[in-house]
Chains A and B, each alone.
Chain A
């Protein structure tokens, strides 16, 4: 049982490049989400999904796309990276019955 797996752990991008942060969970959780963490700002919700085929925007969705084709995977796409997207990103999945939230290890992204 791996829990929530996030890849990569570190990434450096040039402005304008695109990339996908991967998130996978093996607990059959319906609810998954992406957060970004910036100094002094705590963690802010980017996008979330309540099940396969259903996604919605969180507090800071601009510049990010998501899709949820399977229950297990919830990738986060940066179509054209900007320095303002330099941050630490966390993926989470939630067991609906118990409400327990599982977080990935985080991805430290730097856009230069």
Chain B
């Protein structure tokens, strides 16, 4: 079965807090890509990060970082020092098939 689970439906934080969005996936593929997309209120899908299943190196890019652990099939995404502009729905996506149901992040001033 192919499945992407985002257990957190909604998260609310206060500006400058760190927040981690969880993603757990199931796949029978040996090679795959995982993504995080952001969907602001305007509706478009904004690409954030992509990870190849062969590359478990975790990285930091500005205020974003991600933790990919193939052993636990998890691909978590962290925003450091959150800002009001980070308020959006965040989707974890296993290309080319399955989206998670999304996590709505609200960052309050």
List A residues at the B interface (Cβ < 8 Å): 31, 33, 35, 40-45, 48, 58, 88, 90, 92, 94, 99-101, 103, 105-106, 108
How many of chain B's residues touch chain A, expressed as a range? 10 to 19
Kindly state the separation between the CA atoms of A105 and B98 in the bound complex, as whole angstroms: 19
Q: Assuming the A-B contacts A42-B102, A99-B52, A100-B50, are A106 and B96 also in contact, with contact meaning beta carbons closer than 8 angstroms in the complex?
A: no
C-alpha spacing A58/B98, complex, angstroms? 10
What residues of chain A lie closer than 8 Å to B44, measured between beta carbons?
A: 103, 105-106
Q: Are A44 and B99 in contact (CB under 8 A)?
A: yes
Query: Which residues does B use to contact A, with CB under 8 Å?
Result: 33, 35, 37, 43-45, 47, 50, 52, 91, 93, 95-102
Given contacts A88-B43, A100-B50, A106-B44, is CB(A40)–CB(B101) below 8 Å?
yes
Rounded to whole angstroms, the CA-CA distance of A92 and B96 in the bound complex is 9
Verify A41–B101 contact, CB threshold 8 A.
Answer: yes
Do residues B99 and A42 form an inter-chain contact, with CB atoms below 8 A? Answer: yes
Which residues does chain A contribute within 8 Å of B100, judged by CB atoms? 42
| Contact A106 B43, CB 8 Å, known A45-B97, A101-B35, A101-B93 | yes
In the bound complex, residues from chain B placing their C-beta under 8 Å from that of A88 are 43
**Chain A residues whose CB sits within 8 angstroms of the CB of B35 once the complex forms:** 101
Q: Complex formed: what's the CA distance from A103 to B38 in Å?
A: 12
Q: Which of A31, A35, A94 contacts B99 (CB 8 A)?
A: A35
CA–CA, A100 and B107, complex, Å: 28
